[in-house]
Structure 1
């Protein structure tokens, strides 16, 4: 499902060159739930951004569902990313002026779906995360855990094959964190492939496999 071969990422300025990822080789099978751990600045989020086609590698091969995508142009990447990938971020990235259900509908605006279809899919996604009774609320009226559940609903509304989660429990207390990991496990049990960056050993232990990074390099 996800395959990286000899992937490197180098950030350059006029005076500094930083090797963010060094010779990463990764193979995530369909239906796996994989966690990525490592100290701050070790390249975890960079790796997730490259898998999610939000950033391009400086070197190496990326395959998603058998397609080599590292050389795709933006016009080809955008529809592939919208169809295949769902993103969950630590800081939620909800739009405060939009209701919960309007936030969840956002990824569908880039597809050829009707307003009625968007609303039905958004309602279904919110039901999956237990927020059917908060559809008309606004983000400022929600707790942190509820905001993250809205973010998960937004990530799954388009029924992506792959969910990428960057510290999804990082801003939550342990009780809310457990709720979120329970939802992710349920999504995984229903077929989603999940790659999750986390700093929490307890959360990582609830996934199928752990990948550790240190200074941009896999720790074997």
Structure 2
């Protein structure tokens, strides 16, 4: 599904060079639920961005379904992200001026999906996360857990094969965090491949496999 070979990521400024990822080799198989852990600043989010084709590695190769992504142009990469990958962010990234339903529809707008099917798919995604009664609300009217469920609905509305979640329970209390994990596990049981960055050992134990990073290096 996702294969990383000898991945290195270096950030450079005029005065400093920072090695964010160092010789990362990973193979995420179809249907896996994998967690990534490590101290703050160890490269977890950078690794997730490389997997999600948001950030290009300085060295090494990324393969999606056996195909090297380096061969694709920017428009093709954008299409791959839109059609195959769903992103869940810790800070939700919802648009406050749009309703819950409109927020969830956004990925389908980039696919030029027609109005009625787009709305039907967004409503179905919200039903999956238990928010069918909040479709007309705005983000400011929701709790943190509800906002995260909207973010999950937006991530899954296009039926992606891969879901990348960056600290999806990080801003939530333990009860709501467990609810979010239950939703992610249900999505995984339905066939989604999930990679999740987390600081929570208990959440990580609920996934199939744990990857640890330290100072940008994979801990074996």
TM-score (norm 2): 0.99
| Equivalences for residues 76-95 of structure 1 within 5 A | 76-95=76-95
- Once residues 6 and 66 of structure 1 are traced to their aligned partners in structure 2, the CA distance between those partners, rounded to angstroms, is 16
1:195 aligned residue: 195
Q: Residue in 2 aligned with 1:160?
A: 160
Structure 1: tracts of 5 or more residues without a match: none
- CA displacement 1:70-109 (0-9 Å, x = unmatched): 3432111000110000000000000000000000000000
Cα separation, 2, equivalents of 1:131 and 1:146:
8
1:118: which partner in 2? Answer: 118
Deviations 1:163-195 (CA, angstroms, capped at 9, x unpaired): 000000000000000000000000000000000
- Does residue 135 (structure 1) correspond to residue 135 (structure 2)? The answer is yes
Distance in structure 1 (CA, Å) of the matches to 2:178 and 2:73: 39
1: CA distance between counterparts of 2:174 and 2:61? Answer: 37
- 1:33 CA drift (Å): 0.1
**C-alpha contact 1:57 1:70 (8 A) present in aligned 2:** no
RMSD of the alignment, in Å?
0.6
**Count of aligned pairs between the two proteins:** 220
2:210 aligned residue: 210
Question: Paired residue for 1:68?
Answer: 68
Secondary structure class of the residue paired with 1:211:
strand
How far, CA to CA, are the matches of 2:217 and 2:210 in structure 1? Answer: 14
1:19-58 superposed matches below 5 A? 19-58=19-58
- Aligned position for 1:219: 219
> 1:137, CA displacement in angstroms?
0.4
Give the Cα separation in 2 of the matches to 1:71 and 1:212: 29
Q: TM-score, normalised by structure 1?
A: 0.99
Task: Return the offset for 1:67.
Answer: 1.5
